[in-house]
């Protein structure tokens, strides 16, 4: 029997980004709560009441967007919804990763479970059944403007629920579910049939409810914030390693300094670094050295890393609220005692401005964390700053050592500089100017995933360089930094001569992004905040 901790309630109220990722990866199971199911049924009854009474309500028996003044007869309501899906499923570009698509399905199900969308419970049941069966409709990445919902990408998702188009199915090896092996491309009709699922036949309001919402944005931002949490911890670990490798001062992390400025992120980051440094013998060994002050990339790191702590916390809070929000349009507010047109309210909850701004801010912060990391890498490889052989080469001149490690970090930062331009600065008026302000939030959220990947590469370069520099130090860093050094050495052997290191950097980068370096540090300091 599955433990309760492995169950995630789909109730429109309690979903987190970590829940989304766990469900998408198949590590947990979703359960559509009975209370939420009852709310969904009540809202559906309101939709049926509107149709039966012959009332007119946008999205239920009218056209869409600038065609909202066109009334649709009762006999055409199902065709209206199916036409909506087929016409809107025209996204472009490379396919989204199937796990990101499963994340979208989870988020859409949770939003519909709020009970304000007017769909049948069967719609949510099918979404969750596809997630549990590892069935992901094929969704081209490009198409959302971050307002009116993520229309084109979500239309591809809905098309898959109809049993139309292509999709991916998770493949496993072994018995009893086995081990994840990969993704197989197939027709959605076949994928549903293999899993014993019936395609959806859309009824009134359901097509619009499926494609109207901030779902693609939330899926990408869920992944991005979880990755950024790993990257932020890795940034502080990389800094601590560089401090010790460069025999830098611990004084800039003194608690008193940060108490008199009162910036909470700065104080939290300084405390983390103090804990990472605590217990080593390097600081005492250079207590009487002639250094007066370190460079800003070391000395001002709390003031640069600190805002990232605060911004991430704010972004996660915003995202958690959004994951548990009703974001389609119009929304249904049932009143069993007084049914009438007032039950349907049109608004703009589909607009992703708040998510786009969060993602753009995090993209800028990722760039700054990368820039300051690369400056520390530069110091580690410069004998004037490090007092070590140039580029940490064993035979400088004959060998180049880690010279080009800094180059590739700088090249990644150039990519990040371009990616740091806020997507929310762009606006294109669409739908005959009825939708005249859009957020470009989907672009911002996807861009943050790319920024994260580049940041992980820059941090990998710093960590590789700092651990190599520590080989020259006869004293030891703290136990946690020793553990991280050993973790790295399993992936990147000690430099004994020149070799190609591109794959080693990429492997380290991926491990950082996946949280392995965080797990290593937490294994020594379980309460490392």
The CA-to-CA distance between both ends of the chain, in Å, stands at: 34
- Specify the pairing of strand 179-187 against strand 7-10: unpaired
Please name the residue that has the structure tokens 């609220």.
321
What is the 3-state secondary structure of 355-402? HHHHHHHHHHHHHHHHHHHHHHHHHHHCHHHHCCCHHHCCCECCECCC
Measuring CA to CA, which residue among 437, 275, 417 is closest to residue 351?
437
CA distances 313 to 27, 232, 308, Å, are 25, 11, 8
Measuring CA to CA, which residue among 45, 59, 44 is closest to residue 120?
44
Joined together, the tokens standing for residue 202 give: 């859309």
Measuring CA to CA, which residue among 240, 234, 246 is closest to residue 470?
246
- Specify the pairing of strand 344-345 against strand 166-173: unpaired
User: CB neighbours (10 Å) of residue 470?
Assistant: 21
User: CB neighbours (10 Å) of residue 434?
Assistant: 12
CA distances 486 to 277, 368, 459, 476, 521, Å, are 16, 28, 17, 13, 11
Catalytic residue among 58, 168, 296, 391: 58
What is the 3-state secondary structure of 391-450? HHCCCECCECCCHHHHHHHHHHHHHHHHHCCCHHHCCCCECCCCECCCCCHHHHHHHHHH
User: CB neighbours (10 Å) of residue 469?
Assistant: 24
DSSP 202: -
Measuring CA to CA, which residue among 528, 330, 506 is closest to residue 408?
506
Backbone angles phi, psi at 348, to 5 degrees: -135, 35
Backbone angles phi, psi at 302, to 5 degrees: -60, -35
* Active-site residue flag, 472: no
Joined together, the tokens standing for residue 350 give: 């589909």
Contact 130, 200 (CB under 8 A): no
Q: Which residues are catalytic?
A: 58
């Amino acid at each position: 029997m599955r433990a309760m901790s492995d169950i995630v309630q789909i109730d429109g109220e309690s979903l987190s980004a970590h829940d989304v990722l766990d469900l998408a990866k198949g590590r947990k199971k979703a359960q559509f709560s009975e209370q939420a199911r009852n709310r969904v049924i009540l809202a559906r009854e309101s939709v049926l009441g509107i149709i039966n009474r012959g009332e007119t309500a946008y999205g239920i028996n009218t056209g869409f967007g600038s065609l909202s003044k066109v009334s649709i007869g009762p006999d055409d309501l199902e065709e209206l919804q199916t036409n909506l899906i087929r016409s809107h499923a025209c996204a472009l570009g490379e396919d989204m990763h199937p796990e990101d698509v499963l994340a979208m399905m989870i988020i859409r199900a949770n939003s519909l479970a709020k009970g304000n969308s007017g769909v049948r419970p069967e719609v949510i049941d099918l979404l969750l059944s596809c997630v549990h069966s590892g069935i992901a409709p094929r969704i081209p990445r490009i198409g959302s403007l971050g307002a009116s919902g993520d229309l084109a990408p979500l239309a591809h998702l809905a098309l898959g629920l109809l049993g139309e188009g292509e999709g991916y199915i998770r493949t496993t090896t072994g018995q009893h579910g086995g081990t994840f092996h990969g993704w197989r491309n197939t027709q959605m009709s076949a994928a549903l049939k293999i899993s014993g699922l019936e395609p959806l036949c859309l009824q009134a309001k359901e097509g619009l409810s499926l494609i109207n919402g901030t779902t693609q944005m939330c899926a990408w931002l869920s992944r991005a914030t979880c990755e950024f949490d790993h990257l932020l911890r890795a940034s502080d670990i990389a800094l601590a390693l560089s401090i010790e490798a460069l025999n830098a001062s611990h004084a800039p992390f003194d608690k008193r300094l940060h108490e008199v400025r009162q910036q909470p992120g700065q104080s939290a980051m300084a405390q983390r670094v103090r804990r990472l440094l605590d217990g080593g013998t390097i600081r005492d060994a250079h207590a009487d050295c002639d250094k007066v002050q370190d460079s800003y990339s070391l000395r001002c790191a709390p003031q640069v890393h600190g805002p990232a702590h605060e911004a991430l916390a704010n972004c996660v809070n915003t995202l958690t609220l959004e994951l548990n929000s009703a974001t389609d349009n119009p929304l249904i507010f049932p009143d069993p005692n007084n049914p009438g047109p007032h039950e349907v309210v049109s608004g703009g909850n589909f607009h992703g401005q708040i998510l786009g701004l969060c993602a753009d801010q995090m993209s800028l912060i990722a760039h700054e964390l990368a820039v300051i990391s690369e400056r520390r890498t530069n110091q580690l490889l410069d004998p004037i700053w490090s007092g070590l052989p140039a580029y940490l080469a064993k035979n400088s001149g004959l060998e180049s050592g880690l010279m080009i490690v800094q180059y590739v970090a700088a090249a990644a930062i150039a990519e990040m500089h371009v990616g740091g331009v806020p997507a929310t600065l762009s606006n294109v008026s669409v739908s005959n100017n009825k939708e005249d302000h859009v957020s470009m939030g989907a672009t911002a959220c996807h861009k943050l995933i790319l920024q994260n990947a580049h940041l992980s590469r820059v941090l990998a370069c710093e960590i590789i360089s700092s651990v190599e520099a520590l080989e020259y130090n006869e004293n030891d860093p703290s136990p946690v930094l020793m553990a991280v050094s050993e973790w790295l050495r399993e992936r990147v052997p000690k430099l004994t001569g020149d070799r190609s290191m591109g794959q080693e950097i990429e492997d380290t980068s991926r491990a950082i992004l996946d949280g392995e370096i965080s797990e290593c540090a937490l294994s020594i300091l379980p309460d490392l905040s």
